[in-house]
């Protein structure tokens, strides 16, 4: 094969988006062309997600569809990401057209793995470890946005919630060194990025192997020291996600109060309001503990937007237990929630429990939660009318070519009438109208 044109399709979370950016950086540096569509590519890569069984099936369907379209044209097919890490070489049996299996920690070696197939190996796989601080550079051209950058600070998870596959697909927690993170943020700042998202399955479990880079920063935990250190780079806006309740130290709120460039948004997934279900999920906290954290967040001098994830229909969840989740939502008055209907993930402890909540009950609980949240969210959004928000302008609104769109520091989508020259700037927008999922406003400066 003479040309080396690659197409990568990404499924799932921000960690996968960051891995794709890294893979593309590596591939381009090795002489590959990256295409926006699969038709004329020689190599098709699928960076996969396995958080839900459906997501995994979707990948196999997508591979089938793409190959059907390609007809008789020979292509190299690679599966990357969580499905690759979990299923390993068995993917070659399930999808015999696949030539490459590249685990979550092997992304940086992608050019070499492809090289093995180009050199004649029929099937190549790499499920080895990542060298955390090496080869993590992402070229600005490959970032998903020229203004907002994802910066992974920790990979993997040690929590082993019973329903979750991540500790198996991403491995145990491994924190990047503070020096590597700070030098990446400094570079992004110098390159004109306005916002960084410090990302990881549980960012507040951040525990680097040494203190280098954090010596001059105070804080009750390595994560709150890192927040102060990243704030010290002077980059305009810093967001972080996801936080794990059990590791959420109040000092995170103190850091947010102190440092203006730490954004006023916390994503703290609760999953359920029932102590019994939280125990069966092995989340390591109960509803009272979580409510105490909520009080700390709500009492902050600087108001902070607060979002969560909820699973409905976990095995054994009774009507009363679901009611407790509704009560918790009422108590927390989240700015947004992401609701998931429980679905079994093969290989997790919860898969041994009977998935006994009927699908119509899961759907009804989903609806009840969603409509309660819409009412809460609608009220919160209405209360923002007349207020002025700092918005990072990210581009044209999907709904109208006359409008621009961006996110506020509190991570709300804000649309307003304005020109394309504003893209990349932080502007002040006065909110004039509120929908459940977005705000509309007028440009102030
Ligand atoms: S904390 Fe729980 S839900 Fe989150 S990644 Fe770890 S195991 Fe999964």
pLDDT tens string for the chain (445 positions)?
456 899 999 988 888 888 898 899 889 989 999 998 888 899 999 999 887 767 778 888 888 888 787 776 788 999 999 889 888 999 998 888 899 999 988 888 899 999 999 999 999 999 887 765 654 567 676 788 899 999 999 989 999 999 999 999 888 999 999 999 999 999 999 999 999 999 999 999 999 999 999 999 999 999 999 999 999 999 999 999 999 999 999 999 999 999 999 999 999 999 999 999 999 999 999 999 999 999 999 999 999 999 999 999 999 999 999 999 999 999 999 999 999 999 998 889 999 999 999 999 999 999 999 999 999 999 999 999 999 999 999 999 988 888 999 999 999 999 999 888 999 999 999 999 999 989 999 999 7
Cα 399 to averaged position of ligand 1 atoms, centre (Å): 35
Cα 428 to averaged position of ligand 1 atoms, centre (Å): 36
CA separation for the pair 16, 45 (Å, rounded):
13
**3-state DSSP call for residue 356?**
coil
**Whole-number Cα distances in Å, 379 to 29, 264, 432:** 50, 19, 14
Q: pTM (2 decimals)?
A: 0.89
The best mutation among 166, 173, 199 to test binding of ligand 1, ranked by most ligand atoms within 8 Å of the C-beta, falls on 166
**Whole-number Cα distances in Å, 245 to 144, 283, 375:** 29, 9, 25
Cα 199 to averaged position of ligand 1 atoms, centre (Å): 14
10 Å CB burial of residue 262 (0-12, 13-18, 19+) is buried
N- to C-terminal Cα distance for the chain?
55
CA separation for the pair 223, 216 (Å, rounded):
14
The best mutation among 85, 158, 164 to test binding of ligand 1, ranked by most ligand atoms within 8 Å of the C-beta, falls on 164
Ligand 1 atom with the smallest distance to the CA of 167 is 7
CA separation for the pair 444, 163 (Å, rounded):
46
CA separation for the pair 316, 356 (Å, rounded):
6
10 Å CB burial of residue 141 (0-12, 13-18, 19+) is exposed
Ligand 1 atom with the smallest distance to the CA of 158 is 6
Number of C-beta neighbours around residue 352 at 10 A: 9
| 166 touches ligand 1 (CB under 6 Å) | yes
Report all structural domains of the chain as residue ranges with CATH numbers, in order of start: 5-126 (3.40.50.12160), 143-383 (3.80.30.20), 388-443 (2.40.50.140)
| 285 touches ligand 1 (CB under 6 Å) | no
């Amino acid at each position: 094969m003479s040309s080396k044109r690659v197409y990568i399709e990404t499924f799932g979370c921000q960690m996968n988006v960051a891995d794709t950016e890294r893979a593309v950086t590596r591939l381009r540096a090795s002489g590959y062309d990256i295409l926006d569509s699969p038709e004329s590519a020689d190599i098709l890569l699928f960076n996969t997600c396995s958080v839900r069984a459906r997501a995994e099936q979707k990948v196999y369907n997508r591979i089938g569809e793409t190959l059907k379209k390609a007809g008789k044209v020979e292509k190299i097919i690679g599966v990357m990401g969580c499905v690759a890490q979990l299923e390993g070489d068995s993917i070659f049996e399930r999808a015999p057209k696949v030539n490459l299996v590249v685990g979550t920690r092997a992304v940086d070696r992608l050019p070499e793995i492809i090289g093995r197939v180009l050199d004649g190996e029929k099937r190549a796989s790499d499920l080895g470890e990542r060298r955390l601080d090496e080869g993590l550079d992402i070229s600005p051209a490959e970032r998903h946005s020229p203004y907002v950058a994802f910066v992974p600070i920790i990979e993997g998870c040690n929590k082993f919630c019973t329903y979750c596959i991540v500790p198996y697909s991403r491995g145990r927690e491994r924190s990047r060194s503070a020096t590597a993170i700070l030098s990446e943020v400094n570079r992004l700042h110098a390159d004109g990025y306005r916002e960084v998202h410090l990302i990881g399955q549980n960012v507040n479990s951040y525990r680097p192997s040494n203190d280098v880079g954090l010596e001059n920063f105070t804080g009750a935990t390595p994560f709150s020291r890192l927040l102060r250190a990243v704030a010290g780079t002077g980059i305009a806006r810093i967001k972080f996600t996801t936080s794990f309740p059990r590791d959420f130290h109040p000092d995170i709120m103190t850091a947010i109060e102190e440092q203006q460039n730490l954004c006023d948004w916390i994503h703290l997934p609760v999953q359920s309001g029932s102590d019994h279900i939280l125990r069966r999920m092995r989340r390591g906290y109960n509803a009272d503990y979580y409510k105490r954290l909520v009080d700390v967040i709500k009492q902050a001098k600087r108001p902070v937007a607060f979002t969560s994830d909820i699973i409905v229909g976990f095995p054994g969840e009774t009507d009363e237990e679901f009611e407790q989740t509704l009560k918790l939502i009422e108590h927390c008055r989240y700015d947004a929630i992401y609701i998931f209907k429980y679905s079994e993930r093969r290989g997790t402890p919860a898969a041994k429990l009977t998935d006994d909540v009927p699908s119509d009950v899961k759907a009804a609980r989903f609806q009840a939660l969603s409509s309660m949240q819409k009412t809460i969210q609608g009220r919160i959004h209405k209360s923002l009318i007349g207020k002025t928000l700092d918005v990072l302008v990210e581009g044209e609104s999907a709904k109208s070519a006359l409008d621009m769109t961006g996110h506020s520091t509190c991570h709300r989508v804000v649309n307003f009438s304005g020109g394309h020259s504003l893209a990349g700037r932080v502007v002040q927008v006065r909110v004039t109208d509120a929908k459940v999922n977005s705000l509309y406003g007028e440009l102030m400066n």
